[in-house]
Amino acid sequence: MKKFLLSFLLISSVSLVFAQDLPCVTDYKINNGGGQCPDLNGLSATGTITLSFDGTIDANNIPLIVSVAAASDPGTPLTDIIFGAGELHNNGTVTYCYYVGPNNINNLSGHNAQFIFRIAYQTPNGLVPCGSQSPLPVSFRLFTASRSNNAVAIKWTTASETNNLGFEIQRLIGSGSWQTVSFVTTQAVNGYSASEIAYSFSDQNPTKGVTQYRIKQVDIDQRARFSEIRAVRGLGQMAKTIVYPNPSISGNKVSIVFDEITGTRDASLIDLNGRVIKQWKNITNNNLQIENLVPGLYNLRVILRETGEQTIEKIVVNKN
């Protein structure tokens, strides 16, 4: 199967951005088993990633892996994965150690899934996408939302920031509309940082329904971009898989919040004739959204990879 790859590259000087095309990733190889890798922040390595490129990589400008996502869900980077520095080989490939923790029980299942690796280098102007002269304003490394009684703890970490003003915390309760809860000013000096910065915010949220959260990153020049979405249960809701709205209306979005058990999931949407309509692999986020369903009855089969536990959720889609 063809691997869909999206990559970014940094170069050592601004003049090079205008002078030549930037090498991009063409292929990857995953080896699970990190015996040759050093421990990182107390973690043992899970395995290694070897990337191939369509151009020559300068030994002084080896790209960093910013994130990885399943090709079936490219907009949702996998969480809790840390990549070490790259090692350039004589054949032009670069190998990175990777770490999954803190329990180090998951891996990237290289023989069973397709992935998109996003890579970048730090330039004086920030992160520069492959083939582009525009820096990425903020690189998110982590974004979580978790409930404790009436409060929801929102935490996020940036790997780097460029021209950043700050972050709007936005939430959506049930089937309502997105609302801005607060604004958190950047900790980066003058909006620029090449090192990791951690942020947190506590939202007083006693609602009994599901709440979705996202972060709106705002540039100094007022341009804005959105993070991924995280979902939390309502106050007192049981720790089970939640489907809403259910029944839904044809063409509308159906949202799923998985149970409290953490891990990697595979999901399949099956119609009443037993046909698989949609599939998702390697879901590490706690929520999933399904769109453009025609009227009918469906079963959503969810398998937790670590234990093999399987659950079935029924979804009803009505006509408009």
**With contact defined as beta carbons under 8 Å apart, do 134 and 8 qualify?**
no
Residues 118 and 29 in one domain: yes
311 CB-contact burial (10 Å; exposed 0-12 / middle 13-18 / buried 19+): middle
Specify the pLDDT at position 125: 56
**What letter represents residue 64's amino acid?**
L
Specify the pLDDT at position 229: 82
* pTM, full prediction: 0.51
* Domain end among 206, 232, 258: 232
Angle at 300 (CA atoms; ends 298, 306), nearest 5 degrees:
165
Q: Would 66 be classed as within a structural domain?
A: yes
Residues 61 and 91 in one domain: yes
* Domain end among 197, 232, 267: 232
Q: Would 4 be classed as within a structural domain?
A: no
How far CA 27 is from CA of 5, 49, 116, 127, 240, in Å, comes to 7, 10, 10, 21, 38
Q: For 158-196, what is each residue's pLDDT tens digit?
A: 988 888 999 999 998 877 788 999 999 999 988 888 889
Query: H/E element holding 271?
Result: strand 265-271
Residues 25 and 86 in one domain: yes
Q: For 12-68, what is each residue's pLDDT tens digit?
A: 222 222 234 567 788 888 888 777 888 877 778 888 899 998 778 888 788 888 778
**What letter represents residue 7's amino acid?**
S
Q: Would 151 be classed as within a structural domain?
A: yes
Residues 26 and 121 in one domain: yes
Q: Would 26 be classed as within a structural domain?
A: yes
The CATH number that applies at residue 224 is 2.60.40.10
Measured CA to CA, the distance from residue 123 to residue 173 in angstroms comes to 40
Residues 213 and 290 in one domain: no
Residues 246 and 228 in one domain: no
Residues 20 and 123 in one domain: yes
Q: Would 3 be classed as within a structural domain?
A: no
Residues 246 and 147 in one domain: no
Residues 146 and 120 in one domain: no
Q: Which residues of the chain have pLDDT under 50?
A: 1-20, 103-105, 111, 133-134
Q: Would 6 be classed as within a structural domain?
A: no
Residues 164 and 227 in one domain: yes
Specify the pLDDT at position 4: 36
* Domain end among 127, 146, 178: 127
Residues 107 and 153 in one domain: no
Q: Would 133 be classed as within a structural domain?
A: no
Residues 87 and 113 in one domain: yes
Q: What is the number of domains present in the chain?
A: 3
Query: What domain range includes position 206?
Result: 138-232
Specify the pLDDT at position 22: 66
Specify the pLDDT at position 187: 94
SS (H, E, C) 53-81: ECCCCCCCCCCEEEEEEECCCCCCECCCE
Q: Would 7 be classed as within a structural domain?
A: no
